[in-house]
Amino acid sequence: MTSRVRVLGVIPARLNSTRLPRKVLRLICGKPMVQHVYERARLCRALDQLVVATDADEVAAACRRAAIPVEMTSPHHASGSDRLFEVMGRRDAEIIVNIQGDEPLLEPSHVDSLLRPFDQPDVQVSTLRIVIDAAEAQNPNAVKVVCDAAGRALYFSRSVVPYDRDASGDIQYFKHLGFYAYRRDALQLFHRLPPSRLEQAERLEQLRFLENGVAIHVADAPVATVGVDTEDDLRRVEEILRQRLAA
C-alpha cells in the first residue's frame, strides 16, 4: 500500500438490527459498542480518515458525545456497502474500508491484513477469513468462505461448506470475518448492480460481486474476533474486555 493511496475507514452503524436490537448502542464496560469499534479502528495508521455512518439520530448523538466523527446517511440503504457508497461521495479516498459496527474486538492488524492485497493493482475487493473447527462451521451465523488456490473467494455460505461427503474429518473450514476493503470503482459498481439471487437467498451482500464476476481476495486474519450478534456474544465480549482492563 503506497502512501499516495488515500484510505477511508467507514463504520456503518444501523440502530434497527434484527437479531440484537439497538446493538451498536449497547453498553460494554460503560461505553456504547460503536465507541469501542471506533477507538480500536482509530489505532490503525493505514486509515487516513475514519467516520461512523448512521441513519439514526440517537447513534449520531452518542458519537458526538464521544467526539467521534459521524455522518448521517439515508435510512433506505439495503446494505452497509450502500451506506459506504453515500459517504464515499463526500470524501476523497481511493480505497474504502468497511469496518462493521459490531466488532468491538477489532485489532489494527485486521485492517492492515485487509489492505495488503491492494499492493496488486488488479485487486478490487478484499475481505478476511479465519480457521474454525467443524462444530463452529455448523452455526449459520458463522459465514463460511471457500477460496481458490490464489486466495480468491469461490463462495460464501451460511451452510457448511465444503461438505465432508466421506465424513473424513479432515476438512479445513474458514469463517468469513465481515470486514471489507474496496477500490472506489468497485464500490460504485456494487451500488449500480441490483441485488443478486444468491445474495438474497443467503442474505450475504458480498455474493453480488461474485455473481457479477468481480473477484474478492480473501486474506488470513491475524487473530479471531467476536462479532456481536446475540446477548451471549455481548456478554462474552464484555468479559474479555473486563479481563483486559484488569490485567
Query: Does residue 22 form part of some domain?
Result: yes
Q: Which residues of 86-106 are buried (b: 16+ CB within 10 A; e: fewer)?
A: bbbeeeebebbbbbbbbbbbb
Whole-number Å distance between alpha carbons of 73 and 84: 9
156 DSSP β-pair partners: 145
Domain that holds residue 76: 7-123+177-214+229-246
Structural domain tally of the chain?
Answer: 1
For residue 71, which of 20, 13, 19, 110 has the smallest C-alpha distance?
Answer: 13
Do residues 182 and 124 make contact, with C-beta atoms less than 8 angstroms apart?
yes
Whole-number Å distance between alpha carbons of 200 and 220: 26
Please report the pLDDT score of residue 177 as a whole number: 94
Query: Does residue 207 form part of some domain?
Result: yes
Whole-number Å distance between alpha carbons of 121 and 5: 12
Query: Does residue 29 form part of some domain?
Result: yes
* Residue with cell string 469501542: 36
Query: Does residue 130 form part of some domain?
Result: no
SS3 state at 145: strand
Query: Does residue 13 form part of some domain?
Result: yes
Whole-number Å distance between alpha carbons of 41 and 212: 31
Query: Does residue 223 form part of some domain?
Result: no
Query: Does residue 70 form part of some domain?
Result: yes
- Pairing between strand 49-54 and 70-72? parallel
Do residues 46 and 113 make contact, with C-beta atoms less than 8 angstroms apart?
no
- Pairing between strand 7-12 and 49-54? parallel
Q: What CATH number has the domain bearing residue 48?
A: 3.90.550.10
Do residues 117 and 123 make contact, with C-beta atoms less than 8 angstroms apart?
yes
Per-residue pLDDT of the chain (247 residues; tens, 9 = 90+): 444 579 999 999 988 877 788 999 999 999 999 999 999 999 999 999 999 999 999 999 999 999 999 999 998 888 888 889 999 999 989 999 999 999 999 999 999 999 999 999 999 999 999 999 999 999 998 999 999 999 999 999 999 999 999 989 899 999 999 899 999 999 999 999 999 999 999 999 999 999 999 999 999 999 989 889 889 999 999 999 999 888 7
- Pairing between strand 173-183 and 125-132? antiparallel
Query: Does residue 84 form part of some domain?
Result: yes
